[in-house]
Chains A and B, each alone.
Chain A
Amino acid sequence: MKKSNVAMLIVFLALIPLTLFLGDKLPGKGYYITGVLIIIELAVPFFMMFEKRKPQARELVVLAVMIALAVIGRVAIPIPHFKAAFAIIMLTGIAFGPEAGFIVGAITAFASNFFYGQGAYMPWQMMAYGAGGMLAGFVFIKNKIPKKPWIMAIFGFLAVVIWIGPLLDTSHIFIMMPEISFATITASLASGFPVNVSQGLCTALMMIVFGKPLLEKLDRVKQKYGMLEDENGI
């Protein structure tokens, strides 16, 4: 494991939950502060990815394009709970590694919420979306698992149903529920299950349709410019 991967895990497991926990106590529109804090915390492992050099403008530009695509994938599809954003975030994680996946996911949640309305759930969404990209990056690291469309589709479905969906539902537990008990937790997880399945189906479909071409494009720029790698970046 690289140093930046370890830093990523530390940020995800320790710093972000702490921020969310403290951010819940902020009054009014404090969730903006929490959201910005999460982005700042994420920047640490992201910059560690480049080790001795600074990230180039072109690398940030490629990530910006991926964020724009993911936002469009969420906003432009008019079917509720059937959005392409997760698939694009995961593909970014697969192509560029967990740190890039996390930062793309978090900023996608932040930016696309301007279309849907911000709320206290926004930092949680940033965390959950980013966690999806991060998981994809860790699972497909070092090409141990072949990046075939149907494998990515199965992974996408399982990741949404088991990982991203429940993470999103925890926000419901902490924000809405008057008390936290086993019954309330199972109730909110169960009520989120159909939504997660429909999102997972959409993610799987998108992986099959767009997985291969999008991954090819990203791998191409990666090879052409040596992008988002620790060495031989100019």
Chain B
Amino acid sequence: MGFELCHPAVNLIYFVSVLYGMLCFRHPVFLAISFLSAVAYSIKRNGMKAVIFDAVLLPLTSAFALYYSTYNHFGVTVIEQNLIGNSITLESLIYGAVIGLTVSGAMIWFSCIYSVFTSDKVVYLFGKASPKLSLFLSVLLRMVPRIKYEAKKINTAQRGIGRGINQGNIFSRIRNCIRIFSIMITWIIDSLSLQSESMQSRGSLLRGRKAFSIYRFDNRDRAYVIAMFANITLTVMGVMLKQTEIVYDPKIIITPITSVSYLFYIGYAVLCLMPLGLELYTEYRFRKARKIITR
């Protein structure tokens, strides 16, 4: 019930545009909008796990800002001189915080992407190019969880004969890790060739074969895409009018904020919050409809 039920192409357009905005806009207002909506959406999707993840990222961000400002000394506003006589400036501190927020915001968006984009969507979107590509994609995307599972199995078996990764002193632990790694490589090569063999035997590479999918582009998707593109257009207009431009070196210079700027801010905020709004709205509708039944 939510964004993941939209057509995969809609998900792709949304996440590409939002990630682009997150990584390219250095303007503090746009950055704050994108970061806060990423936090809100990840909490909506992943619950408590996301709260912990986001809370861990924030101190890392400020630590990065401190680290950045001790190694980069551009800017005119000197805060103080450090131990070896280099000046720590306000500009480099702020720019370090901006970079840190950008990276951690992108990581939070990626956590949302993982929960929305399942591997069948990836195969559906990119596998259309050729049957061979779709075979490789489906094998590779399934590979990561299979490798995790198999590594756990091998480690359990090895622990039974006293060769687990947490048994013995440090040297034998390293040796055990290398041994398990070597077993894993044997298994990966063998199982991958077996898997591709079996998929080929079932006609996976035949010409004209299509991947099964249940997706269809309906009117709700159309409405969503139209609303999304309206907001993207507003944001692009803001970019064209240099609303997102900012200079940090040697002095912070922002394009003056006028009343029209708020329009672009609202457009970008609505764009970033669209899936969250959709999910809240569907839940509200669902609850309301259920009340009618139980009455």
Contact = CB atoms under 8 A, between A and B. Distances in A.
Do A and B belong to a common assembly? yes
A221 B189 contact: yes
Contacts, number: 45
A57 B132 contact: yes
Contacts of A173: none
Interface residues of B, number: 19
Contact of B188 (A65, A213, A227): A65
B167 interface: no
A147 interface: no
Secondary structure of the B contact surface, majority rule: helix
Name the interface size band of chain A: 10 to 19
B192 A61 contact: yes
Given A57-B132, A57-B205, A69 B185 contact: yes
Given A65-B192, A221-B190, A58 B185 contact: no
Nearest to A225: B193
Contact of A57 (B182, B185, B190, B200): B200
B70 interface: no
A57 to B, nearest CB: 4
Among B185, B189, B190, B194, find the residue whose CB has the most chain A CB atoms closer than 10 A.
B189
Contacts of A43: none
A217 B199 CA distance: 23
Nearest to B193: A58
A197 interface: no
B193 A217 contact: no
Given A58-B196, A65-B192, A217 B185 contact: yes
Contacts of A225: 193
Nearest to A213: B182
B200 A65 contact: no
Contacts of B188: 65
B186 interface: yes
A221 B185 contact: no
Dominant secondary structure of chain A at its interface with chain B: helix
Interface in B179-226: 182, 185-186, 188-190, 192-194, 196-197, 199-200, 205
B139 interface: yes
A62 B192 contact: yes
Contact of B139 (A61, A69, A214, A220): A61
A209 B179 CA distance: 11
B151 to A, nearest CB: 14
Contacts of B193: 58, 61-62, 221, 225, 227
Contacts of A220: 186
B205 A217 contact: no
A220 B189 CA distance: 10
Nearest to B205: A57
B36 interface: no
Interface string A44-88: 000000000000111001100100010000000000000000000
Interface of A: 56-58, 61-62, 65, 69, 209-210, 213-214, 217-218, 220-221, 225, 227
9 contacts: A57-B196, A58-B194, A65-B188, A65-B192, A217-B186, A217-B189, A218-B189, A221-B189, A227-B193
